[in-house]
Amino acid sequence: MRRVIRWVDADGRVRIGVERYERGSFGVVSVDDPLEALNGERTGDGTIVRALDADTLELPADLVLLPPLDPPEVWCSGVTYERSRDARMEESTIRDVYADVYEANRPELFLKDAAGRRTVGPGAAVGIRGDSSWNVPEPELGLVLGKGGAILAYTIGNDVSSREIEGANPLYLAQAKVYAGACAIGPALYASSQEPGPFEISMRILDGDDVVYQDRTSTASMTRSFEELAGWLVRDNPIAPGTVLLTGTGLVPPDAFTLETGHRVEIHVPEIGTLVNLVAPAATLV
């Protein structure tokens, strides 16, 4: 198993590192594409970078951690956990739509972003819409896909959403989901030579030093498999290698909760690390 990260060094060069020796220690590799770094050890210049924190992968001050790759597209799956189904039914005036898709053969899939216009990496700000008073993070396990929908690696994703807008009418889904800073991925790509077991996903939201929400779930609770979701995505739909498919959320804060400017969202998957983002108005990220 291995983790792959990207960063900008003090000279402005984008570097790619593969985890070696101990957790949080990365050796620079001589490739330009992080997907190539998943395929085995690649000779670098001998440089070793050690993260200040092995989970958040915070780097020394002269280095800037980037998203682990620049996905050509980010797609999302919806209503793949029972908790997500229940939350959508609670917020919506058209309840049967969500109950039906949870049990249907065909999953809900939608395009979240293309060319990285709305996707940020670890440490960057995610956005909340100014025309919505009910905004939430959606912590998800992300699949990094290759040719034919093959699963190459895993990452963490945050599908930030407006529950108010989506709940008003399902046809407003794009406006609820697609806007500046509405997606975050990182901090690393995780690949394993063995079939991984269920991933544990936990989320903590802080307002200053106060924890205002925390909970955990497992991908074992999903109603669909990763392979099923990837298979549906590539049906009559060409995707480029490096496309990320987020697999839905099983963590939904209570209805009284909404993200506020300055909140800190921490999403943790032990194999991958911790994705940390602050919250800002989407209008400031345009």
Domain ranges of the chain: 2-65, 73-285
* pLDDT tens digits along 202-246: 999 999 999 999 999 999 999 999 999 999 999 999 999 999 999
* pLDDT tens digits along 22-35: 999 999 999 999 99
Least confident of 45-49, 148-152, 193-197: 193-197
User: What span, in angstroms and rounded, lies between the C-alpha atoms of 235 and 231?
Assistant: 7
Please give the class, per CATH, of domain 73-285. Answer: alpha beta
**What is the dihedral angle through the alpha carbons of 109, 148, 2, 275, rounded to the nearest 10 degrees?**
-20
Q: What is the pTM of this model?
A: 0.93
User: What span, in angstroms and rounded, lies between the C-alpha atoms of 223 and 248?
Assistant: 10
User: What span, in angstroms and rounded, lies between the C-alpha atoms of 148 and 241?
Assistant: 9
* pLDDT tens digits along 143-194: 999 999 999 999 999 999 999 999 898 899 999 999 999 999 999 999 987 8
Q: Over 70: is that where the pLDDT of 42 sits?
A: no
In this prediction, residue 2 has a pLDDT band, given cuts at 50, 70 and 90, of confident
Q: Which residue has the higher pLDDT, 140 or 103?
A: 140
pLDDT score of 101: 80
* pLDDT tens digits along 71-80: 999 999 998 9
User: What are the strands of the beta sheet with 125-128, ordered from one edge?
Assistant: 125-128, 273-281, 264-269, 200-207, 210-218
In this prediction, residue 70 has a pLDDT band, given cuts at 50, 70 and 90, of very high
In this prediction, residue 257 has a pLDDT band, given cuts at 50, 70 and 90, of very high
| Termini Cα distance of the chain | 37
Q: Over 70: is that where the pLDDT of 53 sits?
A: yes
Q: Which residue has the higher pLDDT, 101 or 118?
A: 118
* pLDDT tens digits along 222-232: 999 999 999 99
User: What span, in angstroms and rounded, lies between the C-alpha atoms of 156 and 185?
Assistant: 5
Give the whole-number percent of the chain exceeding pLDDT 90: 81
pLDDT score of 274: 98
Q: Residue 176 carries which side chain, given as an amino acid letter? A: A
pLDDT score of 83: 61
Q: Over 80: is that where the pLDDT of 280 sits?
A: yes
